[in-house]
């Protein structure tokens, strides 16, 4: 019943403990993490100054070639003399720990500004581009190529009464990342939406590849989205190599046509057709925008308190009809790097660390950083996918349900995996499970359904680590969702036959069956926090509210679109109900007045599969069939981020169908982390606070 074999993989960045010392630096708090490094705010005890200390993961530090190249390139970057290259104080190894100490920058990064404010004023864009161009030209003169220029690597040092000072970060480290000797012949790492064609195809790369990336970032700063924003995954790579640069003025008709010409030259497919230097590109950009040139050798100063130029109004999204959908992505998103071999594309994860200051008494802006991955075993000959995720009430354990499927359909051999969230260690494997899971409010019990096609619930005692199988209540119905009442005494199981079965969670006694009126069939369920009302989604466009104790239908709510409700959720204070549907919309209602508050729609949606409120009710997450998670700020209903699991599209073994759906999402009890399922057999954690 319980399999303890360590036949799994966990991609979890780990580092020294807070309060410990690394080479004379005392670690004060963790401010970023990724697959290669953990970043700390540290105190240089010798000089008494704060630094950002990047500590490489043990796996990286154990690689002799990586260690040598890392130190070599970091020290080379430290010798480049330019005021816009982030100062490197020290790089080396201490007691087996590989580290680099750089200046701690207090204003965040340009990528964060774009996600918050949208397109930037042209004068501010020129200010940033001119500074980055200065840094790049200085590095190129010293024989260094950055290879990962993007807004997330442009740091802003903000001080009252002064314009932002711009730094370019990750010099040296980016080049080490992409050494063919380190990653395999013909492989390099970069971010596809900013990567030059010659870098993708494995040709010789020089400073003109950085110019191409800077032009892509400039396009994004001016119009709020990257070039080729309507492409995903491999299509982005193909577009960078083959497609002409998009016309900037098509999105920003208020800007001079000359700006499009400048960007087209900087994004030319062949390096020879681009500008001779990044500074030359920056000067051409200034002229194209019709801005006055500052004194020689200086950069323009953005007007104080000048508001950001709003993004142009997008056309109203088209409703999903089942035969087609509008393919325009959201304006603001986070783009994750992937590994790109010379002849193919392999998805992986690399996190760019944005060093953010934390004002006293406040938490930093959302980093939206992927912090870990939990990967279950992949048996040969089948297609495994994670169908559910759930946090324990104390946030220390993550349950992931793995369903396995063959060309003949679900084989019912799924399993539920329990993981230590902090260390990534597997705690237990519950076989003959893998379907929806739910922890009881006290954390003493985990209810786990069988994999797709299995209709029985199991009850896992977290203290004794024993499993009790529930009765075979409905031989013809699988379990689509499971949820405990707030007091933990009632367990609701949503059966695929269309009814909700309510159980006494201690005795397995069936209390009541609840079903929608007429032909309606239940698809999902959630309790209100007071435990009196059960909310169910139906295979119509309706949401039903029930007095579950009596079986009385209280009322029904309608979501526009006339397509099946796929998931329901209730906010922690019980004030708001959310329901997602196959039309790509998520509806919000006031629980007391039953008034519809908003309809959240992403025009790029394939249909929303899962929905979850953050514990404080200030954020709503939706998991989409297109493989992305969308974060919405409440009560305004503003889209703040689009998270992409690193594997992206995964081709299943089912008639060549590409499956990307995020079928389950869950916030941690503290609300700072979001778990998302994926169809590659992994569940991912994202830092969202």
Pairing outcome for strands 552-558 and 565-570: unpaired
Average pLDDT rounded to a whole number, residues 245-252:
89
CA angle (521, 550, 509) in 5-degree steps: 80
Work out whether the CA dihedral 387, 640, 164, 255 comes out positive or negative.
positive
Burial of 396 (0-12, 13-18, 19+ CB in 10 A): middle
| b (16+ CB within 10 A) / e for 445-465 | bbbbbbbbbbbbbbbbebeee
Annotated catalytic residues are 148
Task: Give 385's pLDDT tier (boundaries 50, 70, 90).
Answer: confident
Number of Cα atoms under 13 Å in the Cβ half of residue 524: 25
Structure-token pair, residue 98: 């590989």
* Residue 396, pLDDT score: 92
Average pLDDT rounded to a whole number, residues 593-602:
91
Helices (H), 57-200: 58-61, 64-78, 110-117, 122-141, 173-177, 180-183, 197-200
CB-based contact 107:156 (threshold 8 Å): yes
Which one, of 625, 623, 617, 634, lies nearest residue 661 by Cα? 625
Structure-token pair, residue 434: 């893998």
Q: Which residue has the tokens 């982390």?
A: 673
Within 10 A of 68 (CB to CB), how many other CB atoms are there? 11
Pairing outcome for strands 88-94 and 49-56: unpaired
* Residue 13, pLDDT score: 45
**What is the spatial distance between Cα 412 and Cα 409, in angstroms, rounded to a whole number?**
9
Structure-token pair, residue 670: 């503290």
- Pick the more confident residue, 351 or 12: 12
The per-residue pLDDT of the chain, averaged, comes to 76
* Residue 294, pLDDT score: 55
pLDDT of 429 above 80: yes
**List of domains in the chain:** 9-103 (3.30.200.20), 110-303+318-341 (1.10.510.10), 369-687 (2.130.10.10)
* Residue 171, pLDDT score: 67
* Residue 290 phi, psi (nearest 5): 75, 30
**What is the spatial distance between Cα 584 and Cα 580, in angstroms, rounded to a whole number?**
7
pLDDT of 460 above 70: yes
Which one, of 156, 257, 259, 139, lies nearest residue 208 by Cα? 139
Ranges of beta strands (E only) in 207-352 are: 338-341
- Pick the more confident residue, 198 or 331: 198
pLDDT of 587 above 90: yes
pLDDT of 277 above 50: yes
Average pLDDT rounded to a whole number, residues 633-656:
68
**What is the spatial distance between Cα 333 and Cα 115, in angstroms, rounded to a whole number?**
7
CB-based contact 374:10 (threshold 8 Å): yes
Q: What is the pLDDT of residues 66-119, one digit of tens each?
A: 777 777 767 777 778 788 988 888 888 888 888 888 888 877 889 888 988 889
**What is the spatial distance between Cα 135 and Cα 509, in angstroms, rounded to a whole number?**
70
- Pick the more confident residue, 304 or 230: 230
pLDDT of 347 above 60: no
Q: What percent of the chain has pLDDT over 70?
A: 72
pLDDT of 548 above 50: yes
Q: What is the pLDDT of residues 474-483, one digit of tens each?
A: 444 567 788 9
pLDDT of 653 above 80: no
Task: Give 571's pLDDT tier (boundaries 50, 70, 90).
Answer: very high
pLDDT of 376 above 90: no
Pairing outcome for strands 21-22 and 25-33: antiparallel
* Residue 683 phi, psi (nearest 5): -120, 140
pLDDT of 9 above 50: no
- 287: cis peptide before it, omega within 30°? no
**What is the spatial distance between Cα 211 and Cα 282, in angstroms, rounded to a whole number?**
10
- Pick the more confident residue, 598 or 355: 598
Distances from the Cα of 101 to the Cα of 54, 65, 91, 461, angstroms: 6, 20, 6, 46
**What is the spatial distance between Cα 93 and Cα 562, in angstroms, rounded to a whole number?**
61
Contacts of 121 (CB under 8 A, 6+ apart): 302, 303, 306, 307, 308, 309
Q: What is the pLDDT of residues 487-540, one digit of tens each?
A: 999 999 887 666 788 889 888 888 888 875 555 566 789 999 999 999 998 877
Which one, of 205, 186, 208, 192, lies nearest residue 137 by Cα? 208
Q: Which helix (H) or strand (E) holds 545?
A: strand 542-547
**What is the spatial distance between Cα 526 and Cα 572, in angstroms, rounded to a whole number?**
11
* Residue 271, pLDDT score: 95
pLDDT of 327 above 60: no
pTM: 0.50
**What is the spatial distance between Cα 644 and Cα 648, in angstroms, rounded to a whole number?**
7
pLDDT of 190 above 80: no
* Residue 30, pLDDT score: 86
Average pLDDT rounded to a whole number, residues 255-261:
92
* Residue 319, pLDDT score: 33
* Residue 116, pLDDT score: 83
- Pick the more confident residue, 688 or 378: 688
Structure letter (DSSP) for residue 364:
P
* Residue 527, pLDDT score: 96
- Pick the more confident residue, 297 or 527: 527
pLDDT of 304 above 70: no
Q: What percent of the chain has pLDDT over 90?
A: 32
For 307-348, the DSSP string reads PPPPPPPPPPPPPP-SS-------S---PPPEEEESSS-B--
* Residue 178, pLDDT score: 40
Structure-token pair, residue 361: 């008494």
pLDDT of 323 above 50: no
């Amino acid at each position: 019943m319980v399999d303890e074999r360590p036949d799994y993989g966990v991609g979890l960045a780990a580092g020294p403990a807070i309060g410990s010392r690394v080479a004379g630096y005392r670690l004060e708090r963790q401010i970023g993490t990724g697959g290669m490094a953990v970043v700390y705010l540290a105190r240089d005890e010798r000089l008494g100054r704060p630094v950002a200390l990047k500590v490489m993961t043990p796996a990286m530090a154990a690689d002799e070639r990586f260690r040598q190249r890392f130190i070599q390139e970091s020290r080379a970057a430290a010798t480049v003399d330019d005021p816009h290259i982030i100062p490197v104080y020290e790089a080396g190894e201490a007691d087996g720990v590989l580290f680099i100490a750089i200046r701690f920058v207090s204003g965040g990064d340009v990528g964060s500004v774009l996600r918050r404010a949208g397109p930037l004023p042209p004068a501010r864009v020129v200010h940033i581009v001119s500074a980055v161009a200065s840094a790049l030209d200085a590095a190129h003169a010293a024989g260094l190529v950055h290879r990962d220029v993007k807004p997330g690597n442009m740091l802003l040092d903000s001080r009252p009464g002064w314009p932002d000072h711009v730094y370019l970060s990750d010099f040296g480290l980016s080049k080490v990342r992409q050494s063919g000797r380190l990653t395999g012949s013909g492989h390099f790492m970069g971010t596809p939406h900013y990567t030059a064609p010659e870098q993708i195809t494995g040709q010789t790369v020089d400073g003109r590849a950085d110019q191409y990336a800077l032009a892509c970032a400039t396009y994004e700063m001016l119009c709020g989205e990257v070039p080729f924003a309507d492409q995903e995954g491999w299509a982005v790579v193909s577009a960078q190599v083959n497609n002409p640069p998009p016309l900037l003025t098509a999105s920003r008709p208020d800007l001079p046509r000359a700006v499009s010409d400048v960007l087209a030259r900087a994004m030319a497919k062949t390096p020879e057709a681009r500008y001779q230097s990044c500074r030359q590109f920056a000067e051409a950009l200034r002229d194209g925008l019709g801005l006055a040139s500052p004194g020689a050798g200086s950069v323009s100063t953005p007007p104080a308190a000048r508001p950001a130029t709003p993004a142009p109004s997008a056309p109203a999204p088209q409703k999903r009809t089942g035969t087609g959908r509008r393919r325009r992505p959201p304006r603001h998103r986070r783009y994750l790097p992937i590994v790109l071999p010379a002849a193919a594309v392999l998805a992986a994860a690399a996190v760019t660390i944005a060093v953010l200051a934390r004002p006293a008494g406040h938490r930093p802006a959302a980093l939206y950083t992927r912090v870990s991955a939990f990967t279950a075993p992949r048996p040969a000959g089948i297609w495994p996918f994670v169908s559910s995720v759930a946090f324990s009430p104390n946030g220390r354990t993550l349950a992931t349900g793995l369903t396995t499927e063959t060309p003949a359909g679900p084989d019912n051999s799924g399993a539920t995996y329990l993981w230590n969230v902090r260390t990534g260690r597997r705690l237990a494997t519950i076989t003959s499970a893998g379907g929806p899971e739910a922890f009881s409010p006290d954390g003493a019990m985990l209810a786990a359904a069988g994999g797709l096609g299995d209709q029985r619930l199991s009850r896992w005692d977290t203290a004794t680590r024993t499993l009790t199988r529930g009765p075979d209540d409905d031989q013809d119905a699988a379990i689509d969702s499971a949820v405990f009442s707030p007091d933990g005494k009632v367990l609701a199981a949503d059966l695929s036959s269309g009814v909700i079965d309510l159980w006494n969670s201690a005795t397995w006694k069936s209390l009541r069956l609840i079903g929608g009126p007429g032909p309606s069939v239940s698809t999902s369920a959630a309790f209100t926090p007071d435990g009196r009302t059960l909310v169910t989604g139906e295979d119509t466009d309706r949401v039903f509210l029930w007095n579950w104790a009596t079986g009385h239908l209280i009322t029904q709510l309608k979501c526009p679109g006339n397509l099946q409700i796929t998931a329901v959720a209730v906010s922690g204070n019980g004030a708001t109900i959310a329901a997602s549907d196959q039309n790509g919309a998520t509806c919000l209602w006031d629980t007391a007045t039953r008034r519809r508050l908003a309809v959240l729609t992403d025009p790029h949606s394939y249909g929303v599969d899962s929905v979850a409120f953050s514990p404080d009710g200030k954020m709503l997450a939706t998991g989409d069939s297109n493989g992305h998670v969308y974060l919405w700020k409440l009560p305004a209903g503003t889209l703040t981020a689009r998270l992409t699991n690193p594997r992206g599209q995964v081709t299943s073994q089912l008639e060549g169908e590409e499956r990307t759906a995020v079928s389950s999402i869950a916030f941690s009890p503290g609300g700072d982390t979001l778990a998302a399922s994926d169809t590659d057999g992994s569940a991912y954690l994202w830092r969202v606070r």
